[in-house]
Amino acid sequence: MTPLPDAEALLEPLVASLRPQLTPTSAMIGLYTGGAWLAERLHAMLGLEAPLGLMDIAFYRDDYHKQGLKHDPKRTRIPFDVEGRDLLLVDDVLYTGRTVRAAMNELFDYGRPRSITLAVLVDRGGRQLPICAQHCGARVEVPEGMRLRLKRTADGRLRLELEPHAA
C-alpha cells in the first residue's frame, strides 16, 4: 500500500485545476462532513463571490432501508439560487459514487443548475455508478474493508486517515 498523501499539500494543485473553470455564476457546495471542511478552504482560496453552500445528503441516501437514518443529519444550507448556476460540488473522498448521486438528486430539488462539476480531494476507486470527478487531488489505493476519511485537527489543518470500516 502506498502511503497516504498529505491533504494540505493537495489543496494548491486542486485550486489551480479549478480556477480556470470559474464563471461569473460559479458557486460551491461542500458535502458534510469532510467535503464541507475541504470546501471551506477551497472557497476561501478561490475567493468565490457566492457564499458557500453546505449539504447533508442524509435524506437522499439509497441505503436508508438498510441502515436507517444516520444519527445527526446536518441541515442543508444553500444560501444562493441554484437555478442557472455553474456548481462546484466538493467532497473529500470519491468511492462508490453513491454519495454524489444522492447529492445531485438533492441539488435538483433546489432548482436546475446550468452545470455541475465534481471536485474531490482523493479518488480511491471502487466506483459502483458511472460517476467521475473532473478535479481530483490524488488517487490512492485503499485495502478492502478500510475506510478513508478526512479529519480536521484543532488548528484547522486537514489530514487523511485510514480506519477499519466498522468504526
Partner 1 sequence: MPRNPQLNARGELQHLLSIEGLPREILTQILDTAESFVGVTEREVKKVPLLRGKSVFNLFFESSTRTRTTFEIAAKRLSADVINLNIATSSQSKGESLLDTVANLSAMQADVFVVRHASSGAPFLVARHVKPHEHVINAGDGRHAHPTQGLLDLYTIRHYKREFGGLVVAVVGDVLHSRVARSLIHGLTTLGVPEVRVIGPQTLLPAGVEALGVRVFHDMSAGLRDADVIVMLRLQNERMTGALLPSAQEYFMKYGLTAEKLALAKPDVIVMHPGPMNRGVEIDSSVADGPRSVILPQVTYGIAVRMAVMSIVAGN
- Please, which of residues 86-145 interact with partner 1 by CB under 8 A? 105-106, 109-111
In the complex, the smallest distance separating the C-beta of residue 70 from partner 1, rounded to whole angstroms, is 9
- Shortest distance, CB of residue 130 to partner 1, whole angstroms? 20
Give 12 or 109: the residue with its C-beta nearer to partner 1. Answer: 109
Instruction: Give the start-end residues of each E strand in 32-167.
Output: 53-55, 86-94, 115-123, 135-139, 146-152, 158-164
Binding test (CB under 8 A) with partner 1, winner from 4, 46, 58, 131: 58
Return d(Cα 80, Cα 104) in angstroms, integer. 16
The C-alpha cell of 88 is what?
Answer: 462546484
- Choice between 75 and 165, CB closer to partner 1: 75
**Least distance to partner 1, CB of residue 103, Å:** 13
Stretch that binds partner 1, among 5-13, 40-48, 56-64, 125-133 (CB under 8 A): 56-64
- Which CB sits closer to partner 1, 26 or 76? 76
- Binding of residue 166 to partner 1 (CB under 8 A): no
Is residue 76 close enough to count as binding partner 1 by CB under 8 A? yes
What is the phi/psi pair of residue 70, to 5°?
-70, 160
Determine the Cα–Cα distance for residues 157 and 38; give it in Å rounded to an integer: 10
Task: Give the pairing type, strands 146-152 and 135-139.
Answer: unpaired
Please, are residues 153 and 159 in contact by the beta-carbon 8 Å criterion? yes
For position 26 contacting partner 1 by CB under 8 A, the verdict is no
Which residues have CB under 8 Å from 55's CB, separation 6+?
Answer: 29, 30, 31, 32, 76, 78, 103, 106, 107
Read off the amino acid at residue 4: L
> Is residue 85 a contact point for partner 1 (CB under 8 A)?
no
The residues of the shown chain that bind partner 1, judged by CB under 8 A, are 56, 58-60, 64-65, 67-69, 71-77, 105-106, 109-111
